Amino acid sequence: MNNTTTNSTYYFFSINVPYSQCEALYSPSAPNVVLVADNGVKVQVPTSRLRQFITSQGVKGRFRMTVNAQLKIVAFERVR
């Protein structure tokens, strides 16, 4: 269950990273990636949030990130 409130902010992303590039998500020298949300906002996301979505095809799909009023990630999920 998510602990979202009315103070939550949602960011939507379309991600299409081939499997051959997913190894970088495990590099200690790159603990974060910068994603550009649909509204143009650049958001720094820990690579650990993306690792769970790696398949043999890579990381592909539509994602939603929910942050609270303190800008802490509450949820990062695939929506399709």
DSSP the chain: -----TT-EEEEEEEEEEGGGGGGGG-TT--EEEEE-TTS-EEEEETHHHHTT-BTTEEEEEEEEEE-TT--EEEEEE--
Specify the pLDDT at position 45. 94
Domains and CATH numbers, the chain: 9-78 (2.40.50)
Total-model pTM: 0.83
Quick: pLDDT tens for 33-76. Answer: 999 999 999 999 999 999 999 999 999 999 999 999 999 999 99
